[in-house]
Structure 1
Amino acid sequence: MLALDPQHIHAHDHTFHTLSHDNDPKRKAQKLFTLSEVVHGKIGDARWAADLLGETLALDPSRLDAFERLFALYTELQDWGSLIHCYRERLDRTSIEDAELRYALIHQLGLVYRDRLGDAPRAIECFRKALELKPDSDADRKLLCELLVIVGDLDEAVDFTRRVFDRNPLAVEPMKELYTLFLRKRQFDHAWCAVDVLGDTLSVKLTTEQERFLIGYSPMPLELVPGRLMPEAWDSHILHPDLDPTITAILRIVVPVIIRAKLGTSRRRAREEQLGGRLAEEQTDSTYPILRTFLDASEILGLSPPDLRVHTGLTAPFAVAIAEKPTVHVSIDHVRELSAGSRAFFAGKYIALLQPELMARAMFPSVPLLKSLIGAAVRAATSNSGIWLSGDELDGAIRSAILPEELEALRQVVKAALAMGSLLDVARWAKLAELSASRAGLLLAGSLDVARRANVYEPHYLGDPTSVEWLTEMISFAISDTYAELRAAIGVGVPANS
């Protein structure tokens, strides 16, 4: 039993008497709030104090201080049901526009469900809602992932973290979380790719265990890679899914026409001299590793190997040559500086660039040049009765070398595009073509860090992806299911039973 001071009882009786004759709700609410503090502070009755605060809010719902006191009192009483009801009531009285307050209330409500009641499903619901209000909240993201793991929903945990990661692939924390989740799911190849990105590309100091994991499954030399890609993997896994098919179709038709036009003006012997000597005929200690790399890379990708020609005037290790069959120029001096991994990256990338879908990227590497080519192609397809209105060099080249069946195919593609009102975003096509070729290079390099270092040697043209754009896209690809499927197909992925 509490021993009450008669003076306190007299004071409380006076207060109740005053309250019963006070018709102003706000003033009456203030007096009840004060009485609640007295009851809690002097008498120590938290339950009575909470009841008085409930009456306070019934009279004046705007009293945020009463809610704050109620939160504290119900926590002291460990009355979690009443605390949850209090939070929900406060939310009901909060404007939709007051996103910051709503976020704080929902976040705290989630903590009550998680820490006080152990109610994971309701806590998950709260943290989801909190993230809708504040998508960049690391705290709520981690709490949600932890709870999803606890309830055994690893698939949802990975999907959710991927969505967060997709907003900023350069962010470290989501990548760390994905690494841990991949390990829990026994997706060891995904985990290896994540730690590969973390270690060098994102400059995170790895643990001893992570370093051992990374080194233990280092990229495999191309000559030891056991598998090869099926032909359908080119369209489904290597080419970027957003590569505009209309632009690709136009370029597939007109690029061979331009090549024929340029080759048609010179004799075969002169063309051979301009291409330079074949590496296959000049095998030395310097040239053999290059030849072997391209042969192995072609076999792994399931594509024909290009002709390799020595060229002393290049400013980069490799360049696509204008020739009757797929040909790559090689600068022996530049290639000497490359590691085996970098050679593998370039072999994959340039073999990809020689394919009909991407050849235009190699032949017309800048966006202005590509736009000129597309313009000439559209003019060729839409001109009436063979009248060519432009005197542009590309128009002349197409006019002189295009075959009737090629012109008809071009007209059909352009006609369909015009009928659909398609906007030909050549700049975007160029970026995605570059990224598509880089995907093939990454697959053979086996490590994003190796691919990133190799890509520094490449020339850069107007409209190319910036270094940040390139890295962002390649990180996304490096931890994707698509990339993991490619690695598994050629036999270099970390097995699930490791």
Structure 2
Amino acid sequence: MLALDPQHIHVHDHTFHALSHDNDPKRKAQKLFSLSEVVHDKVGDARWAADLLGESLALDPSRLDAFERLFALYTELQDWDALTHCYRERLDRTSVDDIEVRYALIHQLGVVYREKLGDAPRALECFKAALALKPDSDEDRKLMCELLVIVGELDEAVDFTRNVMERNPLAVEPMKELYTLFLRKRHFDSAWCAIDVLGDTLAVKLTHEQERFLVGYSPMALEAVPGRLLPEAWDSHILHPDLDPTITSILRIVVPVVVRAKMGSRGRRERDDDLGGRLAEEQTDTTYPILRTFLDASEILGLSPPDLRVNHGMSSPFSVAIAENPTVHVSIEHVRELSSGSRAYFAGKYIALLQPELLGRALFPTVPALKSLISSAVRIATSHSGIWNTGDDLDICLRQAILPDEFEALRQIVKAALAMGSLLDVGRWSKLAEMSAARAGLLLAGSVDVARRANVYEPHYLGEPTSGEWLSDLISFALSDTYAELRAAIGVNVPNG
């Protein structure tokens, strides 16, 4: 014969009498909720208490306190399947606008799948959903990254951590995680670039092994670099992919026109004298390293070396000169202060700035000046030649110096842009042009920290990238596959074997 606990009989009897004559669902739900507490606290039957709460919720789905109680009971019972079902039910009854509650439920559901059920795929889904609600959650980011590693999705883990890092490239923890992931993938060159940023730029104290790794693969001197870039690498890997092609095309036409106009009718000797003496003519222990750096840099980048001219009146080490041929002015006084790494950075950057796509950035370094040039170009391209006797000085300069084939090419570019309704964001173009040149400099300097120190010597104008924006973009690039491919192409990468 089955023995029954008198307490159970009493509670059953109480339940029957309390509910049999009550037709109000909310009151019944409240009584069942109270009864559940009695059953759990007095009788000690967590399963029965959970069943009563389930009945309470069926009668009154709005009772959030019943859900909270159920979460505790199923945890006590270690009934993880029931607990996950309960979390999902609670989510279904939560407004999409209630971000805090939804985030807490999804995060906790992910924890249950991860820690109690060992269901990595479902836990991943939860942490992804939690991050969609709170993208800055470090805890969910770490948990998700760990799970991606566990399930063997290292590529996705790297992509995910890179995306997180790109939102804040100066954040230390994502950078540490990315370093570890690169090591797991045996991408040692990218791991070196990460540790370079961590150790110097972000001032993180490195372990002894990390220090050895960093120092053991220090940037290579330019004369020792074995490889050189193919011509197509300029468009595919160095120019920023978001650089507006319409603005670039306009500047490729009008900048040489302005240079030609400014050179005017002066004779070649007079123009040559205005540029200053050639650096080669003053070759000394100070000037030879500069010459050698630019020659080596040009060879590595697969581009022609510029003419180097001495200019003692500058406030910065280098500047692009207005000249018929690609020319860089050099301040011997300022260059003496530079390390070999800084010289390499500047050589790469200024050789890049001399290319037709970026020359406008070099000769019109302020955004207002660049906007004036683009505006003049658009005006003359959309005006009938009969009214070319009006306009500002820049308009007149362009109209007088532009050749018929240049004008027709400009007219077609502007016509196409207007037909498409293009918005010419000159300020953004200027920033991305600066960053494109900085990428070439970084490749030759071989270190974000070296590039960062060199950038201090540059003049900075209103509308340029701030120092934080500049550094963030350079760090993102330094940890990209694009940069890794460039380093491998010139043979300065840490072998992945």
What band does the TM-score fall into relative to the shorter chain?
over 0.9
Match of 2:337 in 1: 337
Is the CA contact (8 Å cut-off) linking 1:106 and 1:129 kept in structure 2?
A: yes
Matched, 1:156 2:190: no
Match of 1:278 in 2: 278
Match of 2:353 in 1: 353
Give the CA deviation at 1:8. Answer: 7.6
**Alpha carbons of structure 1 residues 411 and 7: separation in structure 2 relative to 1, 3 Å:** closer
Match of 1:306 in 2: 306
Matched, 1:171 2:176: no
Give the CA deviation at 1:2. Answer: 12
What amino acid maps onto 1:134 in structure 2? K
Is the CA contact (8 Å cut-off) linking 1:4 and 1:43 kept in structure 2?
A: no
Tell me the alpha carbon deviations over residues 168-194 of structure 1, each in whole angstroms, 9 at most, x when there is no partner: 222222222211111111111111111
Identity of aligned residues (%): 82
Tell me the alpha carbon deviations over residues 256-284 of structure 1, each in whole angstroms, 9 at most, x when there is no partner: 11111111232322222221111112111
Task: Please report the RMSD computed on the Cα atoms of aligned residues, expressed in angstroms.
Answer: 1.9
The secondary structure found in structure 2 opposite 1:143 is: helix
What amino acid maps onto 2:35 in structure 1? L
Higher mean C-alpha deviation, range 460-469 or range 303-312: 460-469
> What is the rounded CA distance, in whole Å, between the counterparts of 2:330 and 2:413 in structure 1?
35
Higher mean C-alpha deviation, range 15-24 or range 149-158: 15-24
Match of 1:481 in 2: 481
Give the CA deviation at 1:378. Answer: 2.1
Is the CA contact (8 Å cut-off) linking 1:228 and 1:489 kept in structure 2?
A: yes
> What is the rounded CA distance, in whole Å, between the counterparts of 1:147 and 1:225 in structure 2?
40
Is the CA contact (8 Å cut-off) linking 2:448 and 2:475 kept in structure 1?
A: yes
The secondary structure found in structure 2 opposite 1:308 is: strand
Match of 1:378 in 2: 378
Match of 1:181 in 2: 181
> What is the rounded CA distance, in whole Å, between the counterparts of 2:233 and 2:60 in structure 1?
67
What amino acid maps onto 2:226 in structure 1? P
What amino acid maps onto 1:97 in structure 2? D
Give the CA deviation at 1:332. Answer: 0.6
Runs (5+) with no aligned partner, structure 2? none
> What is the rounded CA distance, in whole Å, between the counterparts of 1:184 and 1:302 in structure 2?
34
Give the CA deviation at 1:298. Answer: 0.4
Give the CA deviation at 1:425. Answer: 1.4
> What is the rounded CA distance, in whole Å, between the counterparts of 2:400 and 2:59 in structure 1?
89
Give the CA deviation at 1:477. Answer: 0.9
Q: Provide TM-score, normalisation by structure 2.
A: 0.95
What amino acid maps onto 1:183 in structure 2? L
Runs (5+) with no aligned partner, structure 1? none
The secondary structure found in structure 2 opposite 1:132 is: helix
Matched, 1:464 2:461: no
> What is the rounded CA distance, in whole Å, between the counterparts of 1:264 and 1:28 in structure 2?
96
**Alpha carbons of structure 1 residues 260 and 171: separation in structure 2 relative to 1, 3 Å:** same
Q: Any residues of structure 2 matched to 1:85-484 within 5 Å, and which?
A: 85-385=85-385, 387-484=387-484
> What is the rounded CA distance, in whole Å, between the counterparts of 2:103 and 2:2 in structure 1?
41
Match of 2:496 in 1: 496
Higher mean C-alpha deviation, range 4-13 or range 397-406: 4-13
**Alpha carbons of structure 1 residues 97 and 391: separation in structure 2 relative to 1, 3 Å:** closer
> What is the rounded CA distance, in whole Å, between the counterparts of 1:151 and 1:8 in structure 2?
48
> What is the rounded CA distance, in whole Å, between the counterparts of 2:137 and 2:379 in structure 1?
52
Q: Number of aligned pairs?
A: 497
> What is the rounded CA distance, in whole Å, between the counterparts of 2:7 and 2:43 in structure 1?
13
Give the CA deviation at 1:6. Answer: 4.9
**Alpha carbons of structure 1 residues 37 and 114: separation in structure 2 relative to 1, 3 Å:** same
Give the CA deviation at 1:337. Answer: 0.5
**Alpha carbons of structure 1 residues 3 and 43: separation in structure 2 relative to 1, 3 Å:** farther
Match of 1:71 in 2: 71
Higher mean C-alpha deviation, range 220-229 or range 271-280: 271-280
The secondary structure found in structure 1 opposite 2:285 is: coil
> What is the rounded CA distance, in whole Å, between the counterparts of 1:424 and 1:94 in structure 2?
45
> What is the rounded CA distance, in whole Å, between the counterparts of 1:117 and 1:239 in structure 2?
48
Give the CA deviation at 1:317. Answer: 0.3
Give the CA deviation at 1:137. Answer: 1.4
> What is the rounded CA distance, in whole Å, between the counterparts of 1:126 and 1:399 in structure 2?
62
The secondary structure found in structure 1 opposite 2:462 is: coil
Q: Any residues of structure 2 matched to 1:33-48 within 5 Å, and which?
A: 33-48=33-48
The secondary structure found in structure 2 opposite 1:18 is: helix
> What is the rounded CA distance, in whole Å, between the counterparts of 1:7 and 1:46 in structure 2?
15
Tell me the alpha carbon deviations over residues 364-412 of structure 1, each in whole angstroms, 9 at most, x when there is no partner: 1111111221222223323323541434222232233222222222222
> What is the rounded CA distance, in whole Å, between the counterparts of 2:416 and 2:92 in structure 1?
54
> What is the rounded CA distance, in whole Å, between the counterparts of 1:27 and 1:424 in structure 2?
66
The secondary structure found in structure 1 opposite 2:385 is: coil
> What is the rounded CA distance, in whole Å, between the counterparts of 2:443 and 2:19 in structure 1?
79
Higher mean C-alpha deviation, range 355-364 or range 193-202: 193-202
What amino acid maps onto 2:417 in structure 1? A
**Alpha carbons of structure 1 residues 56 and 273: separation in structure 2 relative to 1, 3 Å:** same
> What is the rounded CA distance, in whole Å, between the counterparts of 1:216 and 1:366 in structure 2?
41
Give the CA deviation at 1:4. Answer: 8.2
What amino acid maps onto 1:333 in structure 2? E
> What is the rounded CA distance, in whole Å, between the counterparts of 1:8 and 1:412 in structure 2?
90
> What is the rounded CA distance, in whole Å, between the counterparts of 1:138 and 1:312 in structure 2?
52
Is the CA contact (8 Å cut-off) linking 1:187 and 1:496 kept in structure 2?
A: yes
The secondary structure found in structure 2 opposite 1:178 is: helix
Tell me the alpha carbon deviations over residues 318-359 of structure 1, each in whole angstroms, 9 at most, x when there is no partner: 011111211111111100101111000100000011111111
Is the CA contact (8 Å cut-off) linking 2:8 and 2:43 kept in structure 1?
A: no
> What is the rounded CA distance, in whole Å, between the counterparts of 1:82 and 1:301 in structure 2?
63
Tell me the alpha carbon deviations over residues 132-171 of structure 1, each in whole angstroms, 9 at most, x when there is no partner: 2222211111111111111111111112222222222222
> What is the rounded CA distance, in whole Å, between the counterparts of 1:257 and 1:232 in structure 2?
26
> What is the rounded CA distance, in whole Å, between the counterparts of 1:65 and 1:3 in structure 2?
34
Give the CA deviation at 1:10. Answer: 4.0
Is the CA contact (8 Å cut-off) linking 2:254 and 2:377 kept in structure 1?
A: yes
> What is the rounded CA distance, in whole Å, between the counterparts of 2:442 and 2:349 in structure 1?
8
> What is the rounded CA distance, in whole Å, between the counterparts of 2:51 and 2:144 in structure 1?
34
Higher mean C-alpha deviation, range 481-490 or range 187-196: 187-196
Is the CA contact (8 Å cut-off) linking 1:189 and 1:494 kept in structure 2?
A: yes
The secondary structure found in structure 2 opposite 1:422 is: coil
